[in-house]
């Protein structure tokens, strides 16, 4: 597990760099929601990217940064690179969300489009880094990245203590998983913090059925043979880097890892807009979908809404198509 001290240090380092995002409570569902879609660049990924760049050695910065991204990690690194005056090159699937590609470029990153999905983009980025011309920054397979994502958990615990101190003794955390950086960071917060009755805190990961790579690793010990299909949860898609530090962490500390369908994700995107007036992307909606569909039954629960960078036209179309599936009282 990532040392708890690293998470505390990341929180101090980022205190003037990021936004403390809101935490709200839905009494109908006995559900807390952490709105990281309100974070800089529209995603929790800004935390890890900024912390990583701030902790890099001068020679690492001088070489420039290279990464692969579905869009949010790339935006975070582009912002960090802009602040630190570091060159950033991001390898991205040609099928990535156009708004995310545009945002990376607007922040000053060089974006290299790659044929195929996230897995192909990651392999291209790793090959480029292997040439020795830039410093590779994984979106999840990095201790400083994971530590910074753990600051989401620190904020949540602080906000819960202020509002409902009795609730922190028992909570089911519901977190989307791609490579596992966010979930591993939150695991470090929960289990490294000596919480009262820490055993009553459950950590549940969520992926899309369309790209169940980490689910396969968690359940069967291998992602071999898994197929990546198109998914609204683009930020969770693609295989996990071999030997990623997130794998043993989550194999030990996850209480469960569940899958949701693309239809579930679509409905969660619309539900968030109609009930909370929050625009969220498919990766964040996957975690909310696990609650709305009854896959998560223990309460109180907390969903980390990881990002809001959904293509505007897609969001408008989904809301128009599915709004009749919902009522103001609840999910029909």
Compute the CA torsion angle 224, 122, 136, 247 (nearest 10 deg).
Answer: -30
Q: What is the mean pLDDT of residues 229-239?
A: 94
What pTM does this model have?
Answer: 0.93
- The mean pLDDT of the chain is 93
- Encoded tokens for 185: 């960071």
Q: Do domains 4-43+143-325 and 45-136 have the same CATH topology?
A: yes
What are the tens digits of pLDDT across the range 10-57? Answer: 999 999 999 999 999 999 999 999 999 999 999 999 999 999 999 999
Q: What is the mean pLDDT of residues 110-115?
A: 96
- Quick one: pLDDT band at residue 144, thresholds 50, 70, 90? very high
- Quick one: pLDDT band at residue 328, thresholds 50, 70, 90? very low
Task: Examine the pLDDT at 168 and tell me if it is beyond 80.
Answer: no
Q: What is the pLDDT of residue 240?
A: 95
CA angle at residue 108 from 107 to 113, to 5 degrees?
100
Q: What is the pLDDT of residue 290?
A: 98
Distances from the Cα of 76 to the Cαs of 45, 62, 119, in angstroms?
A: 6, 18, 19
- Quick one: pLDDT band at residue 169, thresholds 50, 70, 90? confident
Annotation: CATH topology of 45-136: Rossmann fold (3.40.50)
Q: What is the mean pLDDT of residues 269-294?
A: 97
DSSP state string for 71-92? SHHHHHHHHHHHHHT--EEEEE
Q: What is the pLDDT of residue 329?
A: 45
Q: What is the pLDDT of residue 197?
A: 45
Task: Examine the pLDDT at 263 and tell me if it is beyond 50.
Answer: yes
What are the tens digits of pLDDT across the range 176-224? Answer: 999 999 999 999 999 886 655 445 899 999 999 999 999 999 999 999 9
Choose the CATH number for 4-43+143-325 among 1.20.1560.10, 3.40.50.1100, 1.20.1050.40, 3.30.230.10: 3.40.50.1100
**Residue ranges per structural domain of the chain:** 4-43+143-325, 45-136
Q: What is the mean pLDDT of residues 221-248?
A: 94
What are the tens digits of pLDDT across the range 66-86? Answer: 999 999 999 999 999 999 999
- Quick one: pLDDT band at residue 165, thresholds 50, 70, 90? low
């Amino acid at each position: 597990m990532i040392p708890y001290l690293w998470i505390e240090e990341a929180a101090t380092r980022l205190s003037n760099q990021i936004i403390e995002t809101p935490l709200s409570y839905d009494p109908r569902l006995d559900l807390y929601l952490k709105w990281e879609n309100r974070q800089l660049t529209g995603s929790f990924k800004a935390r890890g990217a900024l912390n990583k760049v701030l902790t890099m050695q001068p020679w690492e910065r001088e070489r420039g940064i290279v990464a692969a991204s579905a869009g949010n990690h790339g935006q975070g690194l582009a912002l960090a690179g802009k602040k630190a005056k570091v060159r950033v090159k991001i390898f991205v699937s040609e099928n990535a969300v156009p708004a995310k590609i545009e945002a990376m470029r607007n922040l000053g990153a060089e974006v290299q489009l790659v044929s195929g999905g996230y897995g192909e983009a990651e392999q291209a980025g790793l090959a480029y880094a292997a040439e020795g011309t830039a410093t590779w920054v994984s979106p999840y397979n990095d201790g400083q990245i994971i530590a910074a994502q753990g600051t989401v958990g620190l904020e949540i615990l602080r906000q819960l203590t202020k509002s409902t101190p009795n609730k922190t003794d028992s909570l089911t955390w519901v977190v989307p998983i791609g490579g596992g950086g966010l979930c591993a960071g939150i695991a470090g917060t929960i289990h490294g913090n000596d919480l009262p009755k820490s055993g009553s805190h459950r950590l549940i990961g969520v992926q899309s059925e369309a790209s169940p790579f980490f689910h396969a690793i968690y359940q069967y010990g291998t992602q071999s043979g898994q197929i990546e299909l198109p998914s609204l949860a683009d930020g969770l898609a693609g295989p996990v880097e071999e030997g990623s530090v997130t794998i043993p962490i989550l194999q030990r500390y996850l209480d469960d890892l569940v899958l949701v369908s693309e239809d579930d994700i679509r409905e969660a995107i619309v539900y968030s807009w109609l009930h909370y007036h929050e625009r969220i992307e498919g990766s964040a909606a996957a975690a909310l979908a696990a609650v709305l569909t009854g896959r998560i039954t223990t309460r109180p629960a907390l969903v980390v809404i990881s990002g809001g960078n959904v293509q505007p036209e897609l969001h408008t179309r989904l809301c128009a198509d599915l709004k009749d599936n919902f009522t103001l009282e609840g999910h029909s």
